[in-house]
Amino acid sequence: MSRLSGAMTAMRIANPRACERAEMVRRLGDGAVVDLVAWDGHLSDALTGRVVCVEKSDDFCAELRKRHPHVIHAQPWQEIDVVAADAVAVMVGLHHYSDRARIFANAWRMLKPGGKIVVAEVQAGSSVAAFLDSIPGHRGDYPTTLAPELEAAGFVDVSEEVVDCEWRFDSERTARGYTRALFGVEPLPGLTWDWSLLFAEGTCPR
**Which pLDDT score, from 0 to 100, does residue 1 have?**
60
Residue 135 inside a domain? The answer is yes
**Which pLDDT score, from 0 to 100, does residue 58 have?**
95
Specify the CATH number for the domain of residue 148: 3.40.50.150
CA 35 to chain centroid = 8
Residue 187 inside a domain? The answer is yes
**Which pLDDT score, from 0 to 100, does residue 83 have?**
78
Residue 61 inside a domain? The answer is yes
Distances (CA, A) of 138 to 96, 133, 151, 155, 176: 9, 5, 29, 30, 19
Residue 118 inside a domain? The answer is no
Instruction: Provide the residue-wise pLDDT of the chain in tens; the chain has 206 residues.
Output: 688 888 899 999 999 999 999 999 999 999 999 999 999 999 999 999 999 999 999 999 999 999 999 999 999 999 988 878 999 999 999 999 989 999 999 999 999 999 999 999 999 999 999 999 999 989 999 999 999 999 999 999 999 999 999 999 999 999 999 999 999 999 999 999 999 999 999 999 97
Residue 147's domain comprises 3-113+125-200
Q: For residue 39, what are the contacts with CB-CB under 8 A and spacing of at least 6?
A: 7, 55, 57, 60, 93
For the chain, what is the largest distance between any 2 Cα atoms, rounded to a whole number of angstroms?
51
The total number of structural domains in the chain stands at: 1
Q: What is the C-alpha to C-alpha distance for residues 108 and 124, in angstroms, rounded to an integer?
A: 25
Residue 103 inside a domain? The answer is yes
Q: What is the C-alpha to C-alpha distance for residues 1 and 180, in angstroms, rounded to an integer?
A: 10
